[in-house]
Amino acid sequence: MAQDVREAVAGLSEYVLVGHSMGGKVAQLVAAGQPDGLTGLVLVAPAPAEPAEMITPEYQGQLSHAYDSMETVTFARDHILTASPLPDHLAAQVIEDSLSAGPEAPGALAAYLK
């Protein structure tokens, strides 16, 4: 993913990287290389940083199933994504949005962390 971003911005004289969720990790990775033309970095609710030793095959497996069902999404929402309870309508929206992702989405984060 980071290489895709590098290729997309190649040749731009000035740009700002914006990353949300896992895209925040990608944007940070790209920005860490201090590429030419980068004038800013905006992170919107970036995925939590995990020390490398925490990213085990078991952890990757858990991530790849975090959005399999209403129960697993609810757990991820309440224990990973939020620091305090959401209003009911937003909590329901998180579940709906998470379960409406394409079939490739659940494994994307685990694959990214390999």
The residues spanned by each domain of the chain are: 1-48, 50-114
Per-residue pLDDT of 21-49, as tens digits, reads 888 888 888 998 899 999 999 988 777 66
**Highest mean pLDDT: which of 20-34, 62-76, 78-92?**
20-34
Give the number of other CB atoms < 10 A from CB of residue 36. 11
Q: What six digits make up the tokens of 76? A: 């991820």
pLDDT band at 8 (very low <50, low <70, confident <90, very high): very high
pLDDT value for 98: 82
pLDDT band at 73 (very low <50, low <70, confident <90, very high): confident
Q: Confirm if 66 and 108 have CB atoms less than 8 A apart.
A: no
What is residue 54's DSSP assignment? G
Find the distance separating the first CA and the last CA of the chain, reported in whole Å: 12
